[in-house]
Amino acid sequence: MKNNNMVLPSLKDARMRRNLNIEFVKYKLEDKYSNVGKGKTYYIYTYGCQGNEADSEIMAGILEGVGYTKAKDPLESDLVLLNTCAVRENAEQRIWGVLGQLKGRKREHPEMLIGICGCMPQEEKATNKIINSYEFVDIIFGTHNRHNLPKLIYEAYETNKKVVEVISNEGMILEGAPKVRESTYKAWVTIMYGCDEFCTYCIVPYTRGKERSRKKEEIINEVKELVSKGYKEITLLGQNVNAYGKDLDDGSYTFGDLLYDLDKTGIERIGYTSPHPRDMDLKAMEAHRDCKSVLKHVHFPVQSGNDRVLKIMNRKYTREEYLAKIRKLHELVPDISITTDIIVGFPGETYEEFKDTVTLCDEAGFEGAFTFIYSPREGTPAARMEDPISLEEKHKWFDELVEHTNQGYLNGHMKFIGKVVSVLVDGESKSGDGMMCGYSEHYKLTHFKSDDKSLVGKIVKVKIKEAKTWFMIGDLVNE
């Protein structure tokens, strides 16, 4: 939608799936914009999922490519970008809070550019609110045009007017953009963009566009390059990673095939997030058994343990089908760790139906869960459903569930007592008492005594002696 030089979002357009061929765009910087950040500094605030973190690394790469350097203090920088998330109301609340803080800063330093990008601007309501109530924001753009950032900055400087460019289409695939990765030993690798699942509560298919896969050659080359630079771990990203490849060629090359091929690149660890339970096939599950590098952990979002609720959520599997996949995973890899996402208080959910989710947690043996109270998202079908249960009541259910999921975390840690695990070291523990920490191959946060900073980015062996709810503690084992 175009309005006074502003390209505004449309949820109606974002919902369309036209089955057009997806465009593969090679990043190209026009000469005109190549010095737009010379001598200037930038800072990116990143909210939301790993997809946003990966996008921020691309935007940092693009900004440094036009002369910007990263600011130490966000409030002192020439350009501040907020890469936002729209998945729940509280994610948006945080952004309004940060904008409130930036307002005063902008008054003192009017030359500072403030940009908002990511998923929030893809929503009509949010973009209108930014335009009308946060007039000091200079640039608004969405998830489909982050590669236009140099042009948008240039226009903001040239015109001294607000630049709004939010595209609501199915999206394209950007290749070849520079990246500034946060870590030197673990890396995000996006394998597919968008989502076509349209779970009835979820805004993501509207903010991220159609499901589209990167070509396998691009992914494999990216991982080989990471290996040659000494990276130890990759996390494959996508809203429904097991839909990988369905839109490419004849659709016969699957996510499972990709796992087997990436295992051969020599990368030491492969994780991924998130698979959709309906699309989790045998080959992807077998990769956990057969491929040394594939972590012994699956984040497997279930959302609900009740068949009626799963149906109105449009999840397209039943409790029993979900549990059958869990059993299969355990049959292939007996000690595999499974974590999940759960929504409490979906519109019309009864207490009895909620209890099915609680019993499912125990039956599935989840070793961790991200639990959320349902948050209505404008434009999604669930937001129009009757929702008679009060928020207060939902909070009670939530607390009841969390007792079970916390026990799951603890059980998951206890099973390693006395065992030796491999830990990719991240750095000093936050507690600051001479401990260091990292994640094990079952993706368990593990602390051990050491002050040897040279271990960061290395994989060490740790013998576990203690289990807590949120982490395990052990001693370094000398090999």
Which spans of this chain sit near ligand SAH (rule: CB under 6 A)?
A: 87-88, 201-202, 204, 239-240, 274, 276, 301, 303, 341, 343, 372, 374-375, 377
User: Distance (Å, rounded) from C-alpha 129 to C-alpha 191?
Assistant: 33
**Cα separation values, 68 from 109, 149, 287, Å:** 18, 12, 42
Q: What are φ and ψ of residue 318, in 5° steps?
A: -105, 170
Which of ligand SAH, ligand SF4, ligand F3S, none does residue 372 bind to, with CB < 5 to 8 Å depending on kind?
ligand SAH
Which of ligand F3S, ligand SAH, ligand SF4, none does residue 387 bind to, with CB < 5 to 8 Å depending on kind?
none
Give 96 or 253: the residue with its C-beta nearer to ligand F3S.
96
Which of ligand SF4, ligand SAH, ligand F3S, none does residue 88 bind to, with CB < 5 to 8 Å depending on kind?
ligand SAH
We find the least distance from the C-beta atom of residue 119 to ligand SAH, in angstroms, to be 10
Give 84 or 357: the residue with its C-beta nearer to ligand F3S.
84
Give 40 or 394: the residue with its C-beta nearer to ligand SAH.
394
We find the least distance from the C-beta atom of residue 345 to ligand SAH, in angstroms, to be 9
Q: How far is CA 252 from the centre of its chain?
A: 26
SS3 76: helix
We find the least distance from the C-beta atom of residue 285 to ligand SF4, in angstroms, to be 18
User: Distance (Å, rounded) from C-alpha 466 to C-alpha 307?
Assistant: 38
In the 8-state DSSP scheme, what is residue 230? T
- Cis? peptide before 274, omega within 30° of 0: yes
Helix (H) or strand (E) holding 53: helix 50-65
Single out the residue of 297, 298, 323 nearest to residue 310, CA to CA. Answer: 323
User: Distance (Å, rounded) from C-alpha 328 to C-alpha 177?
Assistant: 39
We find the least distance from the C-beta atom of residue 50 to ligand F3S, in angstroms, to be 8
We find the least distance from the C-beta atom of residue 82 to ligand F3S, in angstroms, to be 12
What's the order of all strands across the beta sheet hosting 369-373? 297-299, 337-344, 369-373
Which of ligand SF4, ligand F3S, ligand SAH, none does residue 86 bind to, with CB < 5 to 8 Å depending on kind?
ligand F3S
User: Distance (Å, rounded) from C-alpha 122 to C-alpha 140?
Assistant: 10
Give 306 or 429: the residue with its C-beta nearer to ligand SAH.
306
We find the least distance from the C-beta atom of residue 394 to ligand F3S, in angstroms, to be 21
Which of ligand SF4, ligand F3S, ligand SAH, none does residue 198 bind to, with CB < 5 to 8 Å depending on kind?
ligand SF4
The residues of the shown chain that bind ligand F3S, judged by CB under 6 A, are 48-49, 51-52, 85-87, 118-119, 203-204, 207-208
